[in-house]
Structure 1
Amino acid sequence: MTVMTGAQALVQALKHNAINTVFGLPGVQLDHVFDALYQERSAMRVLHTRHEQGAAYMAYGYAQSTGRPGAYLVVPGPGVLNTATALCTAHAANAPVLALTGEISTRYIGRGFGILHELSDTAAMLAPITKCQVFADSPARVPLAINDAVRQAISGRCGPVLVQVPDDVTAQRGEVSLGTPAVRDPDPAPDPDLIEKAATLLGRAQRPALFVGGGVLGAEEAVLALATMLEAPVIMTRHGRGALSDRHYLAQTLMGGHRLWPEIDVVLAVGTRFLEGGEAWGLDGRIKTIRVDIDAIQAERPCSPDIKIVSSAKLALAALADALGRHNRKRASREAELDGVKQAALKKLSLLEPQKSYSDAIRENIPEDTLVVTEMTQVGFYTWMGFPVYAPRTLIFPGYQDSLGFGFATALGVKVAHPDRAVVSICGDGGFMFTMPELATAVQHGINLVTIVFNDGAYGNVRRTQKLQFQEHFIGSDLKNPDFMTLAKAFGAVGMRANSPAELGSLLPQALKAGAPVLIEVPVGPMPGWQALMPRAAVRGPRA
């Protein structure tokens, strides 16, 4: 054992768990922790932000783009509550975010004295949006708390976790053992009998399909092997995109999946909430469902499957591919058919202009391995199914919360995690302004992100709804924006402006080589609504 302060124990425990980057803001309950980080500044990168929400979103971007824990550090009370939206986003996307928060001194906890930053029960407030809440009441407990929290964040169905360390504990000295660093708990092995039943069902199927979500990431090789054996389309949700490259004829977005759904006789749903297929599109007696999920409860939602396999995607799909050889029928190529489905979906999406042209201009003028973070904006909505994706974790979304304003700060975290790769943030003017002050963070820390702001001077979805459904009763939807080029330059970033898809395409290579944070403003007018094109209608049987 080594004698150290609780603050030093926290920093050493992070290092022990291979966490070398922390986003955050200092404050009185964290004074000793930030001093401990200073002592380890050669090994720990600390990126201080202009708002706690920005720090938490950066940790989310770091985690979501790597699959590894992203950590942030904030004071209790208003500090940690400022991160709640980002935590909610991480929870919706099953991202392993490590929320580290100080706490008031232990002698005051629960006494209601009104101590600075006091909350009656932080853990209870954040329990619905965190996998676990861990409290360290001594220096010796700090590494154990970190090890346990990281283990839970990366095990099973991943998710955000909370660690609380009171300020008196951070100052206290004591004997500390770092213990065993966190490793992912062993995933449950798939039941061999269920694997055999599932392989039999798939092997006999005439029109099988895979339906995959974010839980399939990491099992891309098995997805390709199984889909190829079955000649089965791989229908990918937003978070599952990239599990199979869009260049492959078997790769389908939800729009293509919706078109195929009426004829599918066996669907293998992997690592997904399955809301589209299992709830929106409808099920009937002619379709059999097989669910693979690490979460046994999730595998029963929104409806009970015919076969439920509780395991990781990687283990279960590998076992299925092995067993399928004993049951699979001879299959003709479906390449021409499925390419036709894909082209029909893209033709339908082409009605969305200028969204399509701007999306195409971005895709055609950035490197193939660029990481793109979308937003709740018109071009962003188009990317859900119209933007080609070639690898997993390269198109980042905010889970089912669809948190307006998540994009810019999240993209900064993605860029920190991938400093040698191009990262592009697609924002609207409304969403960008949520975390706009983090431009200062980007400049100060040399986070050379390229941010595209589509500026229509409005919360576009809301204004369109007010126009079409509420007799042009415009209220709360018009925005008065700054001159974004001037704003960028005021922060020390590079400001550019593009007035067309062609201009945007020509600016992107320059922006990626600028060696500085770049903000590209794209003035636009109202864009056509995308909602009517989304594949939500029931096409077979009742909804769940």
Structure 2
Amino acid sequence: MTGAEALLGQIMANGVDTIFGLPGGQLDYFFDAMHKQQDKLRFFCSRHEQGAAYMAFGYARSTGRVGTYTVVPGPGVLNSTAALCSAYATNAPVLCLTGQIPSKGIGKGIGYLHELPDQLATMRTLTKWADRAMTPEAAPGLVNEAFRQMLGGRQRPVSLEMPMDIMANGAEVALLAAAQIPAPPALDTDAVDRAAEIIAAGGRPIIIAGGGALSAGSDVERLARLIQAPVVSFRSGRGVVSDRSPYAQVFPAGNDLWKDSDVVIAIGSRMEQQYLYWGIGPAMKIVRIDIDEREFDRIAAPDVALHADAGDAVPALIAALERRGVSPRSREEELVELKHRVRRQIADQVQPQFDYLDAIRRALPDDGLFVDEITQCGYASWYTFPVYAPRQLINCGYQGTLGYGYATALGVQAAHPDKAVVNIVGDGGFMFTANEMATAAQYQLPLVTVLFNNNKFQNVQRQQKEWFGGRLIASDLTNPDFVKFAESFGIRAERVSSPAALEAAVKAALERRAPTLIEVPTPDMASPWPFIIRPPVFPEGCK
């Protein structure tokens, strides 16, 4: 088989059946290999490399499975790196497959098409692992190593490249069985017992659930009920415990609870908000569960560190607490009242975002997926939009990659062809990947996109007004007629001007099962930040 066939065959041996990408000279043999496997493989061709990578990111974020994309080297792979940064920030298993210049020219600076000074070194700074296959025979082993690195321990993106001439070369190649993913670290039972002692001795515990708890949702809620602890999440941890549970609390509610909490159980969370901005109380005890032991001392050492997968550590912790017979009084009434109070505060102060997000939530089925964007409604959704299961609210984490949302949502829809997916965008961010409406139309991906348009980068303009005396620069935007723009791709589009009209439009679009754009012209929106950037609870305890 050719090098390209060996590369693709081993990727498919590891369960990949969907690839996003863009063709080009150094990938000709790889695309021919995909053509031969098209009865077993779905391929989505994007209109820009960033779109392909964001689609793979959305696929990975919404499924927990590997999202794969392929692009040409040099400018092609560099165009995709914002999505790789987002995948790194959110621990998403994304596989970047890229070509290379002819093998004889690597490192010589001859000036081959798409040549970089050292592409492999560049990719190693952006991913968990990167390597290069220099023979067809090497491809299966390197592919399996890529999967071991990507899926073992803390999941993160990886990159594998192959020169164009190696992709063309034929050789006798034996494909391998799927990679054996390293087992998570063994539980330290003594550490579990120490953690249980601290929790049992506390009176008002609080759980901080991050993206590392996504696979342990039912156990996290069991722990919460057992110790009567609220479960607070910000972005990636939303849905670990359903917002219908009294124990699930949004970020600003967690800030309110923080002042009276004496034991903190952080599960798969960096806890940077609490360490850096809320402050650690003088009597607080911290228990952390994380699969990445480097996280424990990154800001400050916890009282007990459990280096483990949350799916192993949380049940063990529950068992240790049950052996101690813990039985605290119920806090459900208190927590339900807090949920309602905070939601009323948000509804009063964060408008019109609250009403529009509420309309979308009513229109979206319980099992639907919601993809945010770096926009005023997107920020508000982190603590406003109810989420009922893990991986239902897709975001880009701390990277804040403006413009990521639309292409990412197409990847989410490709991963879930039978589910409802709604994406919100702002007029600024949408223009980053609006060209991917061509992809939505070509593959008839039934994504419903809600575009909030106030003809500006409002966050930037708000800061220019508040911080710089109203000296505005580059924050007002000139936009197309978005309805006509979408229609030019063959996508149904309309314009609505109220939450009620938006709810009806989203419901109708979801029933049609066709790509749709709904524009919502808006005035300036209220700042969402007072519910995110909170005054320190313990100023002296900020790290």
- Common fold by TM > 0.5: yes
User: Could you say which residue in structure 2 is the equivalent of 1:400?
Assistant: 398
1:300-344, Cα deviation, whole Å (9 max, x unpaired) = 232110011100001011110111112243211101111122122
Matched, 1:298 2:295: yes
**Does 507-516 or 396-405 show the bigger shift?**
507-516
Amino acid at match of 1:231: Q
C-alpha contact 1:268 1:290 (8 A) present in aligned 2: yes
Identity percentage of aligned residues: 46
1:427-485, Cα deviation, whole Å (9 max, x unpaired) = 00100110000000110011110011001000011112222332222210111111111
1:133-182, Cα deviation, whole Å (9 max, x unpaired) = 02101001111111111121111110000001110110001111111312
Q: Secondary structure at the match of 1:142?
A: helix
Q: 2:512 aligns with which of 511, 514, 522?
A: 514
Q: 1:115 aligns with which of 101, 112, 116?
A: 112
Equivalent-residue separation in structure 2 for 1:153 and 1:497 (angstroms): 42
C-alpha contact 1:348 1:533 (8 A) present in aligned 2: no
User: Could you say which residue in structure 2 is the equivalent of 1:97?
Assistant: 94
User: Could you say which residue in structure 1 is the equivalent of 2:133?
Assistant: 136
Equivalent-residue separation in structure 1 for 2:29 and 2:465 (angstroms): 54
Matched, 1:264 2:261: yes
User: Could you say which residue in structure 2 is the equivalent of 1:232?
Assistant: 229
* Aligned-pair CA distance for 1:535: 4.5
User: Could you say which residue in structure 2 is the equivalent of 1:202?
Assistant: 199
Equivalent-residue separation in structure 2 for 1:112 and 1:535 (angstroms): 48
Equivalent-residue separation in structure 1 for 2:179 and 2:453 (angstroms): 44
Count of equivalent residues? 541
Matched, 1:341 2:331: no
Equivalent-residue separation in structure 1 for 2:205 and 2:226 (angstroms): 11
* Aligned-pair CA distance for 1:79: 0.3
* Aligned-pair CA distance for 1:114: 0.7
Q: Secondary structure at the match of 1:381?
A: helix
User: Could you say which residue in structure 2 is the equivalent of 1:242?
Assistant: 239
User: Could you say which residue in structure 2 is the equivalent of 1:420?
Assistant: 418
**Does 44-53 or 508-517 show the bigger shift?**
508-517
User: Could you say which residue in structure 1 is the equivalent of 2:535?
Assistant: 537
Equivalent-residue separation in structure 2 for 1:307 and 1:535 (angstroms): 28
* Aligned-pair CA distance for 1:536: 3.1
Q: Secondary structure at the match of 2:206?
A: strand
Q: Secondary structure at the match of 2:98?
A: strand
Unmatched runs of 5 consecutive residues or more in structure 1: none
Q: Secondary structure at the match of 1:165?
A: strand
User: Could you say which residue in structure 1 is the equivalent of 2:374?
Assistant: 376
Equivalent-residue separation in structure 2 for 1:48 and 1:366 (angstroms): 28
Equivalent-residue separation in structure 2 for 1:228 and 1:535 (angstroms): 29
1:51-93, Cα deviation, whole Å (9 max, x unpaired) = 0000000000000000010000000000000001111111011
User: Could you say which residue in structure 2 is the equivalent of 1:318?
Assistant: 315
Q: Secondary structure at the match of 1:175?
A: coil
**Does 334-343 or 428-437 show the bigger shift?**
334-343
**Does 341-350 or 262-271 show the bigger shift?**
341-350
C-alpha contact 2:361 2:386 (8 A) present in aligned 1: yes
User: Could you say which residue in structure 1 is the equivalent of 2:442?
Assistant: 444
Unmatched runs of 5 consecutive residues or more in structure 2: none
Q: 1:273 aligns with which of 270, 273, 276?
A: 270
Equivalent-residue separation in structure 2 for 1:329 and 1:65 (angstroms): 36
Q: TM-score, normalised by structure 1?
A: 0.98
Q: 2:456 aligns with which of 428, 452, 458?
A: 458
Amino acid at match of 2:37: E
Equivalent-residue separation in structure 1 for 2:394 and 2:339 (angstroms): 22
Q: Secondary structure at the match of 1:297?
A: helix
Equivalent-residue separation in structure 2 for 1:45 and 1:394 (angstroms): 23
Superposition CA RMSD, Å: 1.0
C-alpha contact 1:23 1:47 (8 A) present in aligned 2: yes
Q: Secondary structure at the match of 1:342?
A: helix
Equivalent-residue separation in structure 2 for 1:342 and 1:182 (angstroms): 45
Equivalent-residue separation in structure 1 for 2:256 and 2:282 (angstroms): 19
**Does 423-432 or 200-209 show the bigger shift?**
200-209
Equivalent-residue separation in structure 2 for 1:384 and 1:237 (angstroms): 6
Amino acid at match of 1:210: I
**Does 122-131 or 399-408 show the bigger shift?**
122-131
* Aligned-pair CA distance for 1:379: 1.0
C-alpha contact 1:450 1:517 (8 A) present in aligned 2: yes
Amino acid at match of 2:305: K
Matched, 1:330 2:330: no
Amino acid at match of 1:543: C
Q: Secondary structure at the match of 1:47?
A: strand
C-alpha contact 1:371 1:394 (8 A) present in aligned 2: yes
Equivalent-residue separation in structure 1 for 2:320 and 2:180 (angstroms): 29
Q: TM-score, normalised by structure 2?
A: 0.98
Matched, 1:476 2:474: yes
Q: Secondary structure at the match of 2:493?
A: strand
C-alpha contact 1:291 1:309 (8 A) present in aligned 2: yes
User: Could you say which residue in structure 1 is the equivalent of 2:55?
Assistant: 58
Equivalent-residue separation in structure 2 for 1:301 and 1:77 (angstroms): 34
Equivalent-residue separation in structure 1 for 2:41 and 2:218 (angstroms): 34
Equivalent-residue separation in structure 1 for 2:200 and 2:71 (angstroms): 53
